[in-house]
Amino acid sequence: MPTITTGHKPLDAVIARVLRGELAAIDGDAGTQACEVSYFGHNLLGLHLSSEMVGASVHASYSSQTLDLCTGQPVYFPNELDTRREAAFQLEANWRLHQQIEEYIEERGPQSKEPLLSEDDVAGLREQEFVLDPEQLAVVDGFVSFPYQVSYELLSDFIAKDYNGRFGPDFTFEELQAYLRPASPLRRLILPKSASLTKRLTPRTLSK
């Protein structure tokens, strides 16, 4: 796991406990679990967690989480939305998701140079409606992404693997501000970077 030292041992213990819990929640074999830092700044820590389950076929699981290092707790985006802006966020996120879907269909649809999708897959993709996963929040330098899991009746395991990590509306740090509650820790993302509370971080390691 990433090693975090804030200078406050009780907070360090809370953060370590949360990280262990997030890794344990990822399906797969313990020996394949990995935790990668996607963002570190403004006392926010973005994590990308992954694992594989090996059986008759290889199944990969992914999760993106964000921790507020001032509290040691995960940031759940539904709690950060301004209730007056929820409908507007849903509408905008759904539009951005479908922009991604149409670009992907153009690249891998039946009429593309490298076809992968069937007509049923194309229809299934176009039926998608963005639903916010409260436990998925990916922060990287410059933008926030909301990972989206595609699902439809005729989706095969083979095609589903190609969808992993591919879809999810992105918002720049500045764009996101219009949808946040006034006291959200995500408002810190647009502040000038200053000395962080967190003093030490190991960027990438495998847990065992």
Interatomic CA distance for residues 176 and 187, integer angstroms: 9
Distance of alpha carbon 168 from the chain centroid: 8
Q: CA dist 200 to 5, 70, 92, Å?
A: 5, 15, 37
pLDDT tens-digit map of 117-158: 999 999 999 999 999 988 889 999 899 999 999 999 999 989
Q: Which residue has the higher pLDDT, 19 or 192?
A: 192
Q: What is the mean pLDDT of residues 13-38?
A: 66
Closest C-alpha to 22, from 59, 58, 54, 50: 50
Give the pLDDT band (50/70/90) at residue 197.
very low
User: What confidence score (pLDDT) does residue 13 get?
Assistant: 76
pLDDT tens-digit map of 33-67: 677 888 888 889 888 877 666 555 555 677 888 98
Give the pLDDT band (50/70/90) at residue 201.
very low
Q: Which residue has the higher pLDDT, 203 or 129?
A: 129
What is the value of pTM for the model shown?
Answer: 0.77
Give the pLDDT band (50/70/90) at residue 27.
low
67 Cβ contact partners less than 8 Å away, ≥ 6 residues apart: 15, 18, 19, 44, 45, 47, 73, 74, 75
User: What confidence score (pLDDT) does residue 181 get?
Assistant: 97
pLDDT tens-digit map of 88-112: 999 999 999 999 999 999 999 999 9
- DSSP symbol at 192: P
Return the H-helix or E-strand segment holding 87. helix 86-108
pLDDT tens-digit map of 170-189: 999 999 999 999 999 999 99
User: What confidence score (pLDDT) does residue 64 get?
Assistant: 86
Q: Return mean pLDDT, the chain.
A: 82
Interatomic CA distance for residues 148 and 152, integer angstroms: 13
* Residue pointed to by tokens 């509370």: 197
Interatomic CA distance for residues 150 and 50, integer angstroms: 18
Looking at the predicted structure, is the pLDDT value of residue 204 above 50? no
45 Cβ contact partners less than 8 Å away, ≥ 6 residues apart: 2, 4, 37, 39, 66, 67, 69, 198, 201
